[in-house]
Amino acid sequence: MTKQLKGIAASDGIAIAKAYRLVEPDLSYKKTTVTDIDGETKRFEDAISKSNDELQIIRAKAKESLGEDEAQVFDAHMMILADPEFTGAVKSKISDEKVNAEAALSEVSEHFISMFEAMTDNAYMQERAADVRDVTKRIMSHLLGKELPNPALIDQEVIIVAKDLTPSDTAQLNKKYVKAFVTDLGGRTAHSAIMARSLEIPAIVGSETITAEAKEDEELIVDGISGDIILDPTAAQVAEYKQKAADFAKQKAEWNKLKNEASVTADGKHYTVAANIGTPKDLTGVLDNGAEAIGLYRTEFLYMDSAELPTEDDQFEAYKAVIEGMNGKPVVIRTMDIGGDKHLPYLPLPEEMNPFLGYRAIRISLDRQEIFRTQLRALLRASNYGKLRIMFPMIGTLPEFRQAKAIFEEEKSKMVAAGKPVSDDIQLGMMMEVPAAAILADQFAKEVDFFSIGTNDLIQYTMAADRGNEHVSYLYQPYNPSILRLVKKIIDSAHHEGKWAGMCGEAAGDPIMVPLLLGMGLDEYSMSATSVLKVRSLMKRLSTADMKALSDKAVNELTTNDDVADMVKKATNQ
């Protein structure tokens, strides 16, 4: 029966397709004593063989749809299945302790996982722990007669339904078949949502109940513009949404005409509308949407896509591809921002009560300097291919910025001394996303070349509201005058020192925020590539003098997020 749900619209567009439940089955079991040792061993061997067959197919499919690199992870899984040390230990446990295969498997696997995880100085072995965990799940599913979801096997158009998607789950989605996704959890600025926007697939997060409501293969309509989800729609609803999808495509075609134009306001002021990227592959979207710069390259995805720490050469190639691909247009590359909701299997981080307030970003880089220095060397080498700007994430204090800068200067001097070419036009800036730094923006502005405001984090830290938690999403208020005052302070401070200020948080592409930012004189607006043309079209009809009056009123007189939103909507006909 037709049913309607509402979630948080996270990526534009409309999709109509069948649900694919990316939901793990319950793999719990009871430990029992067995008498038929041979029978139990055979059951384990059968599960191994079925897992192996399944992995062969998955590997082949993954290679076809995602490429050889993505497929290689499954080789590691098959190696574990073929490892007599692992399988032998399970069989011995079955026969020596007379326990069922499930219990033997789980105990042996736990033993291997903790052994690998303890090798903190060997990233390669640490990464094996994640592989053992994955393979164990697969074998267990066969022992219990349950089916694991295998997204790599998807070969028809689907809408993914999941409790939550990690950024690495999202990276594995094949755009050819995955037409949209809907999750129970998450907020608009969670990284999976950001990635959906760069993949240009509609997405709705924070629906709370989609996994409980949607059945496998049930037809769904996902409206990523409004956040509406329709389960088992009527023919009339399907027709209505096909029309909406067509209207959306038409609107996009209209914006597309602005692709080769500059971003100029009605009163003739020029601003930079830039794009955010996660990998060099996103460059196509940046060029297709006519962005004037890259305002944020989130390099952590390079680390997340790799099975081990990427080498200096790997990184150099990626950075060079992006810088060269932009053909002289500025490229802001941010050093690694791991931690929070972004993890590396081969770099286990401490268990933390509050990962977003913990060991993250520049805090890791300054602590694990070998990782940081490798990245800086790769960036320095790539600087010769265009206009590179480097920024550091999560800077909270001036000493942090100074230390990061000193390390950069040290690596640069070493390269110059070794006779290697390095650009003499690299700007060094920082993300403004920690309130403590924003409050002291006037002091920071004297030492940086630029600021890039990271509203995704700045809002969560200022409002004390987790950016990915749908239960507190009502507090996630980009237009709250408290946020606007910080933003204005950051922009004014940069300008006072003759520096530029950009914004690369999601708010930079928000049609309510853009008029206010124009009023405050923000120089660079960096957003999901798919928002670039929409924002350029909006700018064209706004005058900065009018917007200044609007932003002054928002900052000085209004008191709530909603009041600001209402005022801007009215004043700009939105």
Ligand X SMILES: C=C(OP(=O)(O)O)C(=O)O
Q: Which residues are annotated as a binding site for Mg(2+)?
A: 433, 457
Query: What's the sign of the alpha-carbon dihedral 12, 17, 18, 20?
Result: negative
Q: Which of residues 112 and 303 has its CB atom nearest to ligand X in the complex?
A: 303
> Binding of ligand X at residue 433 (CB under 6 A)?
yes
What DSSP assignment string belongs to 524-535? EEEEEGGGHHHH
Comparing every residue's Cβ against Mg ion, the nearest one is: 457
> Which one among 14, 47, 487, 504 touches ligand X, defined by CB under 6 A?
504
In whole angstroms, the minimum distance from the beta carbon of 237 to ligand X comes to 34
How many residues bind to Mg ion according to rule CB under 5 A?
3
Give the active site residue among 77, 142, 191, 343. Answer: 191
Q: Which of 149, 454, 481, 515 binds ligand X (CB under 6 A)?
A: 454
Query: Among ligand X, Mg ion, none, what does residue 298 contact (CB within 5–8 Å per kind)?
Result: ligand X
Per-residue string for binding with ligand X, 334-353, x by CB under 6 A? ---x----------------
Question: In this complex, which beta carbon is closest to ligand X, that of residue 449 or of residue 457?
Answer: 457
Pairing of strands 3-6, 8-11: unpaired
Q: Are strands 8-11 and 14-21 parallel, antiparallel or unpaired?
A: unpaired
Q: Name the phi and psi angles at 100, rounded to 5.
A: -70, 160
Helices 544-556 & 481-496 angle (0-180, nearest 10): 120
- 343 in active site: no
**Residue 279 binds to ligand X (criterion: CB under 6 A):** no
What's the rounded Cα separation, in Å, for the pair 73 and 343? 17
Beta carbons of 157 and 179 less than 8 angstroms apart: yes
Binders in 178-197 for ligand X, by CB under 6 A: none
For 134-155, the DSSP string reads: HHHHHHHHHHTT-----GGG--
Using alpha carbons, select from 19, 13, 533 the residue that is nearest to residue 245.
13
Distance of alpha carbon 166 from alpha carbon 147, whole angstroms: 21
Positions at the binding site: 298, 334, 433, 456-457, 467
Look at residue 279 and give the partner it binds from Mg ion, ligand X, none, a contact being a CB closer than 5 to 8 Å depending on partner kind. none
456 binds ligand X (CB under 6 A): yes
CA distance 511 to 225: 13
Using CB under 5 A, which of the segments 244-252, 264-272, 295-303, 428-436 binds Mg ion?
Answer: 428-436
Site for ligand X in 367-396 (CB under 6 A): none
Only one of the segments 219-227, 419-427, 450-458, 533-541 lies at the binding site for ligand X (rule: CB under 6 A); that segment is 450-458
Q: Select the residue interacting with Mg ion from 184, 433, 466, 523 (CB under 5 A).
A: 433
Q: Which of 43, 61, 197, 298 binds ligand X (CB under 6 A)?
A: 298
Q: Which part of the chain contacts ligand X (CB under 6 A), choosing from 80-88, 308-316, 451-459, 516-524?
A: 451-459
Strands 219-223 and 14-21: antiparallel
3-state helix vs strand vs coil in the chain, percent to 5: 55, 15, 30
- Identified catalytic residue from 77, 142, 343, 504: 504
Element containing residue 11 per DSSP (H, E): strand 8-11
What residue ranges bind Mg ion (CB under 5 A)? 433, 454, 457
What residue ranges bind ligand X (CB under 6 A)? 296, 298, 337, 433, 454-457, 504-505
| Active site (catalytic) residues | 191, 504
